[in-house]
Every structure is written in structure tokens, then in C-alpha cells.
């Protein structure tokens, strides 16, 4: 693929692409668009890596920024990461407001592990059994759990059976709100 073809496919100017390739520019806000046109992650364009196997891969629909981490346990602060955001691929259609969070803690094991990256879409509706991120209304503290409705009551459910029962089911109160449905998970091995 030539620089001109990549510029046309990505919607990024050929000059920007030329500067990135030649090293005159080391970074660009347009990396997600270039990466999408090439079928790779933005990180693959900026960091050395091994070979990329795409044989059985689902097509990447979009890339979303990793903005912070979320505790798979208690409510903790989800303030934005100060460094340049990394972008991660999603193979399903999500709203433009979708964002990624890295899991900390073990309350959602064995399905979700510490270090996994979850994609949260605030525009998608959720129902009992879905995975969600909830936050305390008065602050910026959040937690990742399974949403459950039992006998008309709403709960945040931790999957880890090693946790005591009172920690596995937390009633969703008026002081907290669900900020989005978890629509995908990205695992690195």
C-alpha cells in the first residue's frame, strides 16, 4: 500500500503519514484512523511487536481509549489516566461514547481476571445478568460487577465464589448508578 492509498483509506493527509513514516513526527492523534485502515491496533504502529496473525480474527470495528482502571471489588476512584491513552480494538458495533477500563482485583474471577480490559458502552441498555460498571453518584468511585434483579431488588454481584456472601451481593442504592454496560473484554496472554 502506498502512502497515497493509505491516506485515502484512512482519511488522514499523506503529509501526516509521510511525517510518521520518516520519523519527523513520533505520534499523531490520527493513529487510530491509520491503524483501522491497516487492520492493526494503534499500539502496533508505535511499539515493536511480533507477527500479527489475522487468519481467524473477527474484523475490527473500532478502537476505544483506555481511560483508567476499575476495581473488581469495592468502589474505587476511576479518575482519568494522565498519560497518553492507549487504544484497544473492538469487534462489535458500540456507541462513540464507549471507553475501556483495566480490571483491578479478583472479585469477578474466574470469568474476568485482573489486567483484563473491559469496554463500557454508556448508551446500551442492560438487564439482569449483564455485566456493568456502577459508580457512586457523589464522586468518581466505580466498581465492575454483574447486574442482578432478585425479587424486585437490584444487586451488584461479584462472581468469585471465594468471597463471603455479603460481599458477593451488594444492593444497588440511590447513592449509586450504573454508568454503562460491559460489551466486550480484551485479554492479553
pLDDT (average), residues 103-121: 91
36 shares a domain with 79: no
CA distances from 158 to 36, 59, 87, 151, 161 (A): 35, 31, 27, 18, 8
Domain tally, the chain: 2
Tell whether 132 is covered by a domain. yes
CA–CA dist 81, 124 (Å, integer): 24
The bridge status of strand 87-90 relative to strand 141-150 is: unpaired
- The model's pLDDT over 36-70, given as tens digits with 9 standing for 90+, comes to 888 877 777 766 554 455 555 567 778 888 887 66
128 shares a domain with 76: yes
CA–CA dist 154, 53 (Å, integer): 42
* Owning domain of residue 81: 62-186
pLDDT (average), residues 161-169: 85
Least confident of 76-80, 88-92, 145-149: 76-80
Tell whether 52 is covered by a domain. no
175 shares a domain with 109: yes
117 shares a domain with 41: no
Amino acid at each position: 500500500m502506498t502512502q497515497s492509498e493509505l491516506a485515502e483509506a484512512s482519511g488522514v493527509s499523506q503529509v501526516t503519514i509521510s511525517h510518521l513514516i520518516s520519523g519527523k513526527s513520533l505520534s499523531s492523534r490520527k493513529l487510530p484512523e491509520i491503524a483501522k485502515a491497516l487492520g492493526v491496533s494503534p499500539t502496533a504502529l508505535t511499539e515493536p511487536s511480533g507477527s500479527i496473525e489475522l487468519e481467524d480474527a473477527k474484523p475490527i470495528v473500532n478502537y476505544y481509549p483506555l481511560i483508567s482502571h476499575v476495581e473488581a471489588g469495592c468502589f474505587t476512584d476511576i479518575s482519568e489516566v494522565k498519560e497518553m491513552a492507549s487504544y484497544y480494538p473492538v469487534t462489535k458495533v458500540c456507541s462513540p461514547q464507549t471507553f475501556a477500563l483495566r480490571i483491578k482485583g479478583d472479585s469477578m474471577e474466574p470469568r474476568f481476571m485482573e489486567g483484563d480490559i473491559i469496554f463500557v458502552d454508556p448508551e446500551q441498555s442492560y438487564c439482569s445478568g449483564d455485566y456493568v460498571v456502577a459508580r457512586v453518584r457523589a464522586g468518581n468511585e466505580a466498581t465492575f460487577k454483574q447486574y442482578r434483579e432478585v425479587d424486585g431488588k437490584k444487586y451488584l454481584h461479584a462472581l468469585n465464589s471465594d468471597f463471603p456472601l455479603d460481599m458477593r451481593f451488594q444492593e444497588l442504592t440511590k447513592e449509586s448508578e450504573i454508568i454503562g454496560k460491559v460489551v466486550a473484554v480484551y485479554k492479553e496472554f
